[in-house]
Amino acid sequence: MSLLSTSLLGTQFTNPLLNASGVWCRDKVELDALNASQAGSFVTKSCTLEPRTGNPEPRYFSTPMGSINSMGLPNEGYQYYLDYASQHDYSHKPLFLSLAGLSVADNLKMIEAISKANLPAVVELNLSCPNVPGKPQIAYDFDAMQTMLEAVTQQYDKPFGVKMPPYFDFAHFDAAAKILNSFPQVAFLTCINSIGNALVIDTESESVVIKPKNGFGGIGGDYVLPTALANVNAFYQRCPDKRIIGCGGVKTGEQVFQHILAGATLVQVGTELHEEGPGVFARLLTEVTALLERKGYKSIEEARGKLRTL
Ligand code: IRO
């Protein structure tokens, strides 16, 4: 076993890195670039039943500390990603399919098609899109989350994962973990999606920086690293039978290592991938390798969840 290799759901990954869904994964050209990159796996853009153009532009903006977006779920429709997944060479690298149906019924239709296709692609069900006007995030409504997971687990018989929003209170970590733990089929949790409904203001123009929702959008990058690490660790502790995929604020190998210490098995890169392109994965692998070697680790598995408290 090499220093960076790991496994999830019985599948081997040459390294823990992949994109955060939404970044560099909307069409075949972008997905092929991820497939050709040093990422150990990759995930498709969250999809809906029908293609969507998404929210009006500008809908993504970077700042020195990260990004704000309100893309509004632009995607090619689930069939496009299912076709991509059916042509993918899984012996080269694993592929995740992200689903974000606008209703329980839509998710069930997509899940039914994915079941029938019987591919090695692993589903990441997005319960936390912050940017569809009029649609609250499912995972901030615990009854809705329970209903969604009951429906999906009845329809689908393979293990899958869920993309979670950040929580900010121990009562919410506890309540969410209790629901998730009642579904053994939910094999992994991806923590976190962007911190929703933030507002970035440009001082000179005295204006918001993105058009949808009067400037409100999800933030990522440096703004979210401590919140991401907290959510990874909170669910790592509360969901011992599940794996955690860390997402949020990864810009260097050091932050990959911090996610692993907090309990992550795989680590996703969003804002920094958007800024730097798929070359980011080679740089992060070099950096995290140097860090692990300096610390004398023989494998990343050895570091997982080993965060010390005072
Ligand atoms: O606006 C988006 O498309 C979007 C989604 I579905 C999400 O899950 N997270 C995000 O920050 N943006």
Among protein residues, the one with the nearest Cα to ligand 1's atom 9 is 129
The region, left, alpha or beta by phi > 0 then psi within -120 to 50, assigned to residue 174 is alpha
Strands 17-19 and 11-13, by their bridges, are unpaired
306 - beta bridge partners?
none
Among protein residues, the one with the nearest Cα to ligand 1's atom 5 is 129
What six digits make up the tokens of 194?
């962007």
The region, left, alpha or beta by phi > 0 then psi within -120 to 50, assigned to residue 92 is alpha
Q: Which of 129, 191, 239, 247 is catalytic?
A: 129
Q: Ligand 1 centroid to 262 CA: how many Å?
A: 24
Using the atom order of ligand 1, give the atom closest to the CA of residue 70: 1
Residue range 206-265, pLDDT digits in tens: 999 999 999 999 999 999 999 999 999 999 999 999 999 999 999 999 999 999 999 999
- The position carrying tokens 């081997």 is 12
**Alpha carbon distance 302, 296 (integer Å):** 10
Of 71, 28, 70, 6, nearest in space to 245 by CA = 6
Q: Ligand 1 centroid to 72 CA: how many Å?
A: 6
Architecture category of domain 6-54+73-195+222-302 in CATH: Alpha-Beta Barrel (3.20)
Residue 132 has a pLDDT of 87
DSSP track, 162-189 = EEEPP--SHHHHHHHHHHHHT-TTEEEE
Which strands sit side by side in the sheet containing 195-199, from one edge to the other?
A: 60-63, 66-69, 216-221, 195-199
Residue range 52-108, pLDDT digits in tens: 999 999 999 999 999 999 999 999 999 999 999 999 999 999 999 999 999 999 999
Strands 160-164 and 186-191, by their bridges, are parallel
The yes-or-no answer on residue 129 being catalytic is: yes
- The pTM for the full model equals 0.99
